[in-house]
A and B are shown apart, each in its own frame.
Chain A
Amino acid sequence: MIRGFIFAGALSFFSSIQAQVKDQRLWAMPEVGIQIGAQEPSLDFRFQGGIQRKNWMFGAGVGVDLYRFSSTPVYAQVRKLFHFRGTTPFLLASGGYNFKQSSDTVSTWTGPRIYDRSGGYYGEFGGGFVFRVFKKERLSLSVVKNIKQVKESYENDYWLGPGQTRTARTTNLYTMHRAVIRLGWRF
C-alpha cells in the first residue's frame, strides 16, 4: 500500500509536468474534511490546484491536518474524471510528505523529557463526485483512505543498579490510517 502511495505521488508529479500542452486549463480547489480514525474525529483543510487535460487533473496541494499530531502535508495529486448522469465521478490518488517539526517537553517524575517530532510520508486514494449547485458552482465530495506518518523520539534512562544508568533513545513511528470525507469548491 505504501509503495502504491509513493507511486501515485510520483506519477501525478511527473504527469503534471508532462501535461504542459495547449488543451489544458487551470483548476484550484479548497477543501475541508472530517477525518475518522482510531482517535477522535478531526478536521483537515487543504488547498490544491493544477492543470486539467481532458479527463485528467494533475496538481499539488498543501494542507493542515489536525488528526492526533497537527501537521502540514504537501502532496502531488492526480484525478481521473468520468461522466455519469450529470455528475462527474472521479478517482484520486495523492502522495507526498507530511511535515511536522516540533519539540515538546513533558514533565516526568525523573525529570523533563523532550519529545522531538518530525514528519513522514503522506498519501491517500479514493473517489468522489463533482456536482453543480446554484447552477454555476461546482462542489467536490470525496471519500479517501488516507495515511500520514509522524516520527517521535526521546531519550529515556534505564536504571541497571546503583549509579548505573544508561541512556537510550527511543523512536516511535506513528502510521495513522484514516477515512476522510471532504467537501471542496472547485473553481
Chain B
Amino acid sequence: MKRILGLSILIALLFQSCLKDNISSKTTIYRPVYKTKEEVRANIKSSAPVELTAPGKIYYKDGFAFLNELYKGVHIIDIRNVASPKNIAFVNIPGAVDMAVRGNVLYADMYTDLVAIDISNPQQVKLQQVLQGVFPQRYYPNFDNDTGKIIVDWQAIDTVLQEGEYFDWGLRREDMMFAMPAAAGGGTTNGTGGSMARFGLREDRLYTVDNTDLKVFDVSIPERPLYIRNVNTGNWGIETIFPFGNNLFIGSMTGMFIYDVTAKDLPKQIGTFTHARVCDPVISDGKHAFVTLRNGSQCQGFINQLDVVDISNLTKPTLLKSYPLTNPHGLSKVGEVLVICDGADGLKLFNASDVKNIRQTAHVKGMNAYDVIAWGTVAMVSAADALYLIDFSDPAKPVIKSSISINSPK
C-alpha cells in the first residue's frame, strides 16, 4: 500500500513541470492614428453634415448652435427655427474639445494648437491661422508622441494576449488621465458658451483655461488671433471659465476664483470661494455666482448641490445658501429663470428671483443632461441622447420643441 501511494505521489510530481494555469485574454486595444500637422491643416474644411456621435461642448451665436464632436470637429446647426433645427455642416478639426466664436471666426483647439477658422460660409470654411503649441498640456503624457504628428483617430484592434504579454503602448486606460469638462462669454460680436466651457470671450480677448493656467489671446482682429500671455493661477483642477462684466469666474475642483480683467491682458485674481473637492461649473449674473457641485469618478467628493454665492464684494465672496441636487452639471440663467442640468435626473428649471428661496418650477425628465445655454425663452440642452431645444416661455411648463439625436458608438 505504501509503495502504491509513494508511486502515485511520484507520478504526480512528474506532472509538475506542466502544471500551470494558461490564461489567454481576448480584448480590444486602441491605437492612435497619426497624421502630420500639414496633412491635418490641409484637411480643415467643412463637409456635409454628419451624424452626432460623441458630442462635447456647446456654443451659441446668432441663431446657430455649435456642437463639438469630441476630437473630431464642430457641427454647425441652424436653430433659427427652434422647432426645426438643421444640421448644416461639419468642420473637421482633429483634437477639438473647446471652441468659441467671435464675428465670423471660430476658434478651436487642435490638440496643442489654437486654430482660427472663417465660418462666414459654413459650407466652405477657411483656415485663417494656427497658433502652434499654445496648449502644451494637450499632449498625451503617456504616449511616445511624435511632436510632428497629430492623433486624428483611434483604431480598435481585437487582439489575443497570452499570459505574461502586456498591452502595447497604443492603449490608454481610463485611469491614465482625467477628463475635463468646457464655454465662453458675452459681448455683441461674441457668441455664448455653456457653463462647462474652457474657452471664454470677453470683448476682444479670448481667455482659455487648462488644469493650472489661464491664457490670454488678443482677438481684436478675429481671424488673426495673437497669443499674449500665460497666467499661472497657482491652483489646479481648473475646469471652466465664465466671463461676466469685468471679471472671469473660474471653476476648479477646489473652488471658484474671481479674476479682474479690467486690464484685459493682465488678469488679476481678486477673490476666492473654496469648497470641498468636487466638480463645479460656475456662472454669474453680476450680483451672485451660481456654482453647481457634483461628485463623480473624476470629481471625487460626496456633494451634489447648488451653491449661491454673494459676490457684491468680489474680494470676499460669501456663501448665501446651498440647495441639494442629484448630480448637477451645466447651468444657465436668463432673468429670473435658472436652468440646471442635473445629470441623469434631467433638466430642472428654477425661479431664482429670491436667491435665498430658489424654487423649482419645472422638471424635464428622461434625459441625461450635461450642459445648457439659455437665451430669451429658449434653452439648448446637450444630453447623452440628443441635443434638445426647449421653449420655456412658461417656466412652469417647458416644452421640448425639437431635438437632434445622438448616435453614440456602442
Q: Footprint of B on A, CB under 8 Å?
A: 36-39, 68, 87, 109-111, 126-129, 131, 141-143, 145, 156-181
What is the chain A residue whose CB lies nearest that of B95? A161
Q: Does B220 contact A (CB under 8 A)?
A: no
Contact, CB under 8 Å: B23 / A174: yes
Question: What residues on A are CB-neighbors of B25 within 8 Å?
Answer: 170-173
Contact, CB under 8 Å: B23 / A173: yes
Assuming the contacts A36-B16, A109-B175, asked whether A161 and B4 have C-beta atoms less than 8 A apart, the reply is: no
Question: What residues on B are CB-neighbors of A168 within 8 Å?
Answer: 27-28, 156
Contact, CB under 8 Å: B174 / A177: no
Question: What residues on A are CB-neighbors of B8 within 8 Å?
Answer: 128, 141-143, 181
Contact, CB under 8 Å: A162 / B70: yes
Total chain B interface residues with beta-carbon distance under 8 A: 43
CA gap between A138 and B23 in the complex, in Å = 39
Contact of A164 (CB < 8 Å), options: B26, B54, B176: B54
Contact of B27 (CB < 8 Å), options: A160, A171, A175, A179: A171
Question: What residues on B are CB-neighbors of A178 within 8 Å?
Answer: 19
Question: What residues on A are CB-neighbors of B16 within 8 Å?
Answer: 36, 179
Contact, CB under 8 Å: A68 / B180: no
Contact, CB under 8 Å: A160 / B23: no
Residue with the greatest number of chain A CB neighbours at <10 A, chosen from B25, B156, B180: B25
Q: Does B171 contact A (CB under 8 A)?
A: yes
Question: What residues on B are CB-neighbors of A126 within 8 Å?
Answer: 11
What is the chain B residue whose CB lies nearest that of A127? B11
Q: How many residue pairs between the two chains, A and B, have CB atoms under 8 Å in the bound complex?
A: 129
Contact of B19 (CB < 8 Å), options: A36, A161, A174: A36
Scan B164-207; emit 1 where CB is below 8 A from any A CB, else 0.
00000001111111011100000000000000000000000000
Question: What residues on A are CB-neighbors of B1 within 8 Å?
Answer: 131
Contact, CB under 8 Å: B21 / A165: no
Contact, CB under 8 Å: A181 / B12: yes
Question: How far in angstroms is the closest Cβ of chain B from A35?
Answer: 9
Question: What residues on B are CB-neighbors of A36 within 8 Å?
Answer: 12, 15-16, 19
Contact, CB under 8 Å: A159 / B174: yes
Assuming the contacts A158-B172, A160-B154, A163-B179, asked whether A143 and B22 have C-beta atoms less than 8 A apart, the reply is: no
Contact, CB under 8 Å: A172 / B21: no
Q: Does B121 contact A (CB under 8 A)?
A: no
Assuming the contacts A87-B4, A158-B171, asked whether A177 and B21 have C-beta atoms less than 8 A apart, the reply is: yes
Q: Besides the contacts A161-B179, A162-B97, A169-B28, what 19 more A-B pairs have beta carbons closer than 8 Å?
A: A36-B15, A36-B19, A37-B20, A156-B27, A156-B173, A159-B173, A161-B97, A163-B54, A164-B54, A164-B154, A167-B410, A171-B25, A172-B23, A172-B24, A173-B23, A174-B22, A177-B18, A177-B22, A181-B12
Question: What residues on B are CB-neighbors of A68 within 8 Å?
Answer: 21
Question: What residues on A are CB-neighbors of B97 within 8 Å?
Answer: 161-163
Q: Footprint of A on B, CB under 8 Å?
A: 1, 4-5, 8-9, 11-13, 15-16, 18-28, 30, 54, 56, 70-71, 97, 140, 154, 156, 171-177, 179-181, 297, 409-410
Assuming the contacts A128-B8, A131-B4, asked whether A161 and B27 have C-beta atoms less than 8 A apart, the reply is: no
Question: What residues on A are CB-neighbors of B11 within 8 Å?
Answer: 126-127, 143, 179
5 A-B pairs with C-beta separation under 8 A = A109-B175, A141-B5, A162-B56, A171-B25, A179-B13
Assuming the contacts A110-B175, A162-B70, A162-B179, asked whether A170 and B30 have C-beta atoms less than 8 A apart, the reply is: no
Question: How far in angstroms is the closest Cβ of chain A from B194?
Answer: 13
Question: What residues on A are CB-neighbors of B154 within 8 Å?
Answer: 160, 164, 166
Question: What residues on A are CB-neighbors of B297 within 8 Å?
Answer: 109-111
CA gap between A48 and B62 in the complex, in Å = 80
Residue with the greatest number of chain A CB neighbours at <10 A, chosen from B30, B176, B180: B30
3 nearest A-B pairs in the assembled complex, by CB-CB distance: A168-B28, A179-B15, A170-B27
CA gap between A17 and B140 in the complex, in Å = 65
CA gap between A172 and B21 in the complex, in Å = 12
Question: What residues on A are CB-neighbors of B172 within 8 Å?
Answer: 158-160
Contact of A177 (CB < 8 Å), options: B20, B176, B409: B20
Question: What residues on A are CB-neighbors of B21 within 8 Å?
Answer: 37-39, 68, 174-177
Assuming the contacts A166-B30, A173-B24, asked whether A159 and B177 have C-beta atoms less than 8 A apart, the reply is: yes
Question: What residues on A are CB-neighbors of B70 within 8 Å?
Answer: 161-164
Contact, CB under 8 Å: B409 / A166: yes
Question: How far in angstroms is the closest Cβ of chain B from A182?
Answer: 9
CA gap between A81 and B27 in the complex, in Å = 46
Contact, CB under 8 Å: B19 / A163: no
Residue with the greatest number of chain B CB neighbours at <10 A, chosen from A127, A157, A179: A179
Question: How far in angstroms is the closest Cβ of chain A from B98?
Answer: 9
Contact, CB under 8 Å: A175 / B22: yes
Question: How far in angstroms is the closest Cβ of chain A from B44?
Answer: 19
Question: How far in angstroms is the closest Cβ of chain B from A67?
Answer: 9
Question: What residues on B are CB-neighbors of A177 within 8 Å?
Answer: 18-22
Question: What residues on B are CB-neighbors of A142 within 8 Å?
Answer: 8
Contact, CB under 8 Å: A159 / B179: yes
Question: How far in angstroms is the closest Cβ of chain A from B114?
Answer: 16
